[in-house]
Chain A
Amino acid sequence: MSKEKKMKLSLPTEELVGSGNLACQGCGATLAMRYFLKALGPKTVLCIPACCWSVIDGPYPYSCLGVPVHHSAFETAASTATGVKAGLQMTGDNETTVVAWGGDGGTFDIGLQALSGAAERNDDIIYVCYDNEAYMNTGIQRSSATPLGAWTTTTPVKFFKDQPKKDIDAIMAAHRIPYQATASISYPEDVYKKAKKAKDVKGTRFLHIYAPCPTGWKSRPEDTIKLGRMVVQNCIFPLFEVEHGEKYTLTMKPANKKPIDDYLKLQGRFRHLKPETIKVMQEAVDHEWTRLLKLCENR
């Protein structure tokens, strides 16, 4: 105890997400915000559509966040951010970073048109999607980000989801936006680095952050970090960057790619799966992984 050492901290100590917030125990979405705001700093405005994060923040007149938040309608995160950015510019503020911060439902599904519009205009905003792979805030309904095989309340065990996860990253790349990246909360330094990089680019930037949800995935809260690590190491959710829709860079190469079984076993939402379904899922993961490696080589 008397060892006179310094604590080794890999991130700045400033916290813009406060304690006392309303997130569940072990919430990945909260960590995503924590790391992201460490990189962005206080000169940031968040536009948050209906999602867990509009609840986590706290009820009126409170907020656990150290930056201004504009709560918007579910389908309008990107267009709200565009408007806030334009408003700030009118007042002569060209410095504040305007961020749309939505869940997977608000991004992959209902907010896709607003996001596509902003990206097509190359509006000067950062769009962050924290991906917990379902509509969690309203009680775990399937979204187009829900992976193949998963249980949700609208894809019950007998009728588990039999479509793959929508490839939102390819959709954003098709818009040729200047910068986009995937990240996972289990690699905070990587989230931080990518958020910093996004901050310094002009135009539409897109971050897709994997955020485990113990409540919706029926996983143990203490496994949140483990899941965010396994999903990357098993090549289910690879970490990469894309510049201008063309230049793909793999930002983490898993040391030795493992089968997806261990990852599935930690989550109640996959408990019903039979080996033959898991085999199909493994083949799909391998196929997508090979495809991504090719994109990264061809640049």
Chain B
Amino acid sequence: MPKKRDAKKINFTSIAEVPTMPMSLGSMLWNKTGTWRNIRPEIKLEDCIQCGICWKFCPDMSILIENEWPVVDYDFCKGCGICAEECPAKCIVMVEERK
């Protein structure tokens, strides 16, 4: 399981907390884009050749590398299917999302 990536939403409670210059105060990691998905990638690690191609082409930085193996972060994966399409070992399959 990948380490949980998270951030808090920012709620201003008074105008005094709002910076006078509009500035970014935090990341988008609170936004779990995994909920957009209706198909999910599943990696069959026994066929994986560790080429890193899924990691390289994921537009959502949702293939993480753990102990030299690719792991999908389902909190953010939008289910585009690029990893499955590009995997040269054909070891990623897109399956219907379980609700």
Contacts and interface: CB of A to CB of B under 8 A. Distances in A.
The binding surface of chain B is classed by DSSP as loop
Given A25-B79, A221-B82, A188 B25 contact: no
Contact of B24 (A13, A15, A69, A223): A69
Nearest to B60: A19
Interface residues of B, number: 44
Q: How large is the interface on A (under 10, 10 to 19, 20 to 34, 35 or more residues)?
A: 35 or more
27 contacts: A1-B45, A6-B50, A9-B52, A19-B5, A19-B28, A19-B29, A19-B33, A20-B28, A20-B30, A21-B33, A23-B60, A25-B36, A31-B57, A58-B24, A58-B28, A61-B24, A61-B26, A62-B10, A62-B25, A62-B30, A63-B24, A63-B27, A63-B28, A188-B56, A222-B80, A224-B82, A225-B82
Given A1-B46, A7-B68, A222 B81 contact: yes
Contacts of A197: none
B30 A26 contact: no
Contact of A7 (B70, B75, B76, B78): B70
Contacts of A223: 85
Interface of A: 1, 3, 5-11, 13, 15, 17-23, 25-28, 30-31, 34, 58, 60-64, 69, 188, 214, 220-226
A59 to B, nearest CB: 9
A60 B69 contact: no
Given A9-B56, A31-B59, 13 more contacts: A6-B50, A7-B68, A19-B29, A20-B31, A20-B32, A20-B33, A25-B79, A26-B82, A30-B59, A58-B24, A62-B27, A188-B57, A221-B82
